[in-house]
Each structure stands twice: as structure tokens, then as C-alpha cells.
């Protein structure tokens, strides 16, 4: 029996959640069972109660707000423990058209992909300002370069995962899962597909960031951090060679004046060149050490994957403690 769980991370979405849940399909071609899981990320407006009243099969409630990335991973964890073969993530503000879910999961059912991203066609979204559309497109281009993928809309939260892909997902960012998960999947050589999807009219402003500057700052930090996590030698080598190059140019400057017979007046250049060359080589050595640590990280990720498999396949105890209840709640 094939099970699809549609998860919805929420923060104070009591007003918009009913319409979102009402639109979700309860039958998808190729799927035997469709269930809905709501993750209440420390809401204060009764979002969890609204989810239960509106028919959510599972409700995971975090005691305090932990951020979108943590809520997403809590939903992935709960969906896996509930036996999901496929997981679809969507937003609580009903931004994404629920009737597109069959199209989203089709590549997974056909064995063509491990992850499918819904492409909103950012260039045509009229509810976004021109500046924001350009920034979104630029950000997606950067993520494609560092992840070696072809996803056109990397910030889309409308996405589907196979069980295997979900088991291998490990998010460390506290900001958002969208960029990190794509970079991570690309570095793990997962098959990532994208399908065009339509969106519903906007019901409210985005709550993920306070300003465009804040979004750029946090997104850039996430991209650099995750790329450096998986490609530390390349990152530190580029930085180190740049510093070494600057130091070498400063040294050539000193050599020029030395040949002119006035090198004693430019001892500072010689000292600066020496410092830059030493720092550059140290940065490269740090890159070598970071590369070894990155190898250990890959081993730890594989170990975590195996532990998840064991946890999900082990025989239940005679009187297991309640973990996740259909129509119930799980608090963390």
C-alpha cells in the first residue's frame, strides 16, 4: 500500500489553514492512501486546534517557535514514522495550487526523480515586485551553480520527496530549508526534477524575512555555509590562492624598487608580502583540514541514515509509548 503524506509547516496560520486544508486532494493517481500532517511551529493563535477540526490526520506541535527549517524537518521525521512512501511539502497560506500535487508526485511514481520542485515561473509572478523577482532569479542561478542542478525556482516550498530522499535529508540551517536541501541533494547526487505549477492569489505578505536586505544576507550566508560544508578544500584553496596572489604582487612591487636601488624605502612592502604569503598558505592548509572533516561529515550522514532506517524498521515494543497519533498531537 503506497502512502503519501502532505505536510504543512505552520506559524500562526489559523486564518488561512482551513482553506488550505480544504483544497488538498484526498486521492492521487498511483497513491493508495493520502494523509495530511500539520506542523505547528509554536503558534499562539490555536493553529493546532484548527488543524484537528479541519481534518488533519496528524498534528505535530512544537512548544516554541523554532523556525521554518526546524518545522520542516520535524514534519519529515513525523511523516517517515507515520509510514510515508512519498512526502509533499506545501505552505499554509495556500500559495500553491493543491490540484498540482498529482503532477508534482508523478516523476517520483515513475521512478524518474528522488525530489521534485514546483516551478512557479518567477518571472511571471505579478504579485512579486520587479526587484524581488530579479533577486529570486539571481539567487536561483547561484544555487544552481553551487549545487550543479537545473532547478529554476530554488526557493519554492512546493516540493515532493521519496522516502529514500527524505531519509537522507539533514538540514542544519535555522533560516529556511529550501536552498540548503537543494545544495545538499545536488552534492549527494540525488535525481532532482522540476515541474511547472500554478499558484493561487496571495493571501498575505511573506513572514520569512523582515526586509529584502535581511533575506539577501541570510540566504547568502546559507549558500556560502552549505557550499563550504561540502566543498571546503575548493573554497579555502580559492581564498588562499587569492591572498597568495596579492602577496606575490606586493613582493614584485618591492623587487621593482629594489632593482631601482631604493628598496630600503619599501621594506613595508616586503613585510606585507611575507605576511600575505604566510596567511595564504595557512588558509590552504586549513582547507586541507576542513576537507578531512568534511569526509567525516559524510560518514556521519551515512551513519545517521542507517540509524533512521533501523529506527523505522525495528520491531515495536509490547507497550510502545505514544509517538504520533492520527487525529492527535505530538509535542516537542
Q: What is the pLDDT of residue 325?
A: 46
- Summarised one tens digit per residue, pLDDT across range 304-325 is 888 888 888 764 444 344 444 4
Edge-first strand order for the sheet with 328-331 is 192-196, 115-119, 159-162, 86-89, 3-10, 33-41, 58-62, 328-331
Query: Comparing C-alpha atoms, which of 233, 237, 224, 222 is closest to residue 290?
Result: 233
- Summarised one tens digit per residue, pLDDT across range 148-162 is 888 998 888 899 999
CB neighbours (10 Å) of residue 322?
8
Q: How many CA atoms lie within 13 A of 55 on its CB side?
A: 12
The band of 266, judged by pLDDT with boundaries at 50, 70 and 90, is confident
The proportion of the chain whose per-residue pLDDT surpasses 90, expressed as a percent, equals 45
The band of 84, judged by pLDDT with boundaries at 50, 70 and 90, is very high
Question: Which residue did the predictor score with more confidence, 1 or 131?
Answer: 1
Query: Comparing C-alpha atoms, which of 105, 195, 107 is closest to residue 150?
Result: 195
Q: What is the pLDDT of residue 206?
A: 64
Helix, strand, coil percentages, rounded to 5, for the chain: 50, 15, 35
Q: How far apart are CA 13 and CA 216, in angstroms?
A: 25
Residue 278 has pLDDT above 90, yes or no: yes
The band of 112, judged by pLDDT with boundaries at 50, 70 and 90, is very high
Q: Which of 95-99, 170-174, 286-290, 321-325 has the lowest mean pLDDT?
A: 321-325
Q: What is the pLDDT of residue 285?
A: 94
CB neighbours (10 Å) of residue 209?
15
Q: Which of 154-163, 166-175, 201-210 has the lowest mean pLDDT?
A: 201-210
pLDDT, averaged across the chain: 86
Query: Comparing C-alpha atoms, which of 6, 80, 71 is closest to residue 43?
Result: 71
> Three-state DSSP class for 195?
strand
Q: For residue 210, give Cα distances in angstroms to 96, 144, 214, 218, 238.
A: 22, 25, 6, 11, 33
Question: Which residue did the predictor score with more confidence, 220 or 83?
Answer: 83
CATH class of 3-230: alpha beta
Q: What is the pLDDT of residue 265?
A: 85
The band of 329, judged by pLDDT with boundaries at 50, 70 and 90, is low
Chain-centroid distance of CA 301 in Å reads 16
- Summarised one tens digit per residue, pLDDT across range 215-260 is 778 778 888 888 888 888 999 999 999 999 999 999 999 998 888 8
Q: How many CA atoms lie within 13 A of 195 on its CB side?
A: 19
- Region of residue 121 (phi > 0: left; psi between -120 and 50: alpha; otherwise: beta): left
The band of 204, judged by pLDDT with boundaries at 50, 70 and 90, is low
Q: How far apart are CA 65 and CA 152, in angstroms?
A: 30
- Summarised one tens digit per residue, pLDDT across range 20-29 is 999 999 999 9
**Which residues touch 279 (CB under 8 Å, ≥6 apart)?**
243, 247
Residue 101 has pLDDT above 60, yes or no: yes
The band of 129, judged by pLDDT with boundaries at 50, 70 and 90, is low
Kindly report the three-state secondary structure assignment for every residue of 206-240. Answer: CCCCCCHHHHHHHHHHHHHHHHHHHCHHHHHHHHH
The proportion of the chain whose per-residue pLDDT surpasses 70, expressed as a percent, equals 89
Average pLDDT over residues 47-52: 92
The band of 205, judged by pLDDT with boundaries at 50, 70 and 90, is low
Amino acid at each position: 500500500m503506497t502512502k503519501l503524506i502532505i505536510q504543512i509547516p505552520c506559524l500562526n496560520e489559523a486564518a488561512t489553514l482551513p482553506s488550505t486544508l480544504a483544497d488538498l486532494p484526498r486521492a492521487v493517481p498511483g497513491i493508495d492512501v493520502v494523509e495530511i500532517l500539520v506542523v505547528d511551529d509554536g503558534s499562539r493563535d490555536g493553529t493546532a486546534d484548527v488543524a484537528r477540526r479541519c481534518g488533519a490526520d496528524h498534528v505535530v506541535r512544537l512548544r516554541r517557535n523554532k523556525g521554518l527549517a526546524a518545522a520542516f524537518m520535524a514534519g519529515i521525521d513525523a511523516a517517515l514514522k507515520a509510514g510515508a512512501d512519498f512526502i509533499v511539502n506545501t505552505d499554509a497560506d495556500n500559495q500553491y495550487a493543491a490540484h498540482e500535487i498529482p503532477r508534482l508526485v508523478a516523476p517520483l511514481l515513475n521512478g524518474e526523480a528522488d525530489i521534485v520542485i514546483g516551478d512557479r515561473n518567477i518571472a511571471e509572478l505579478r504579485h512579486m515586485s520587479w526587484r524581488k523577482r530579479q533577486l529570486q532569479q539571481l539567487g536561483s542561478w547561484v544555487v544552481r551553480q553551487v549545487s550543479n542542478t537545473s532547478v529554476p525556482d530554488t526557493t519554492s516550498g512546493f516540493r515532493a520527496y521519496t522516502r529514500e530522499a527524505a531519509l537522507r535529508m539533514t538540514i542544519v540551517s535555522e533560516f529556511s530549508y529550501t536552498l540548503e536541501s537543494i545544495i545538499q541533494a545536488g552534492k549527494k547526487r540525488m535525481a532532482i526534477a522540476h515541474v511547472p505549477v500554478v499558484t493561487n492569489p496571495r493571501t498575505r505578505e511573506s513572514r520569512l524575512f523582515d526586509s529584502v536586505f535581511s533575506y539577501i544576507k541570510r540566504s547568502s550566508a546559507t549558500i556560502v555555509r552549505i557550499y563550504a560544508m561540502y566543498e571546503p578544500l575548493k573554497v579555502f584553496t580559492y581564498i588562499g590562492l587569492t591572498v597568495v596572489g596579492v602577496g606575490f604582487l606586493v613582493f614584485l612591487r618591492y623587487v621593482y624598487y629594489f632593482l631601482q636601488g631604493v628598496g630600503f624605502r619599501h621594506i613595508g612592502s616586503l613585510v606585507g608580502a611575507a605576511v600575505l604569503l604566510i596567511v595564504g598558505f595557512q588558509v590552504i592548509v586549513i582547507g586541507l583540514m576542513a576537507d578531512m572533516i568534511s569526509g567525516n561529515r559524510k560518514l556521519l550522514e551515512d551513519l545517521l541514515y542507517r540509524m533512521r532506517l533501523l529506527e523505522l524498521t525495528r520491531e515495536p515494543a509490547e507497550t510502545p509509548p505514544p509517538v504520533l497519533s492520527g487525529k492527535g498531537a505530538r509535542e516537542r
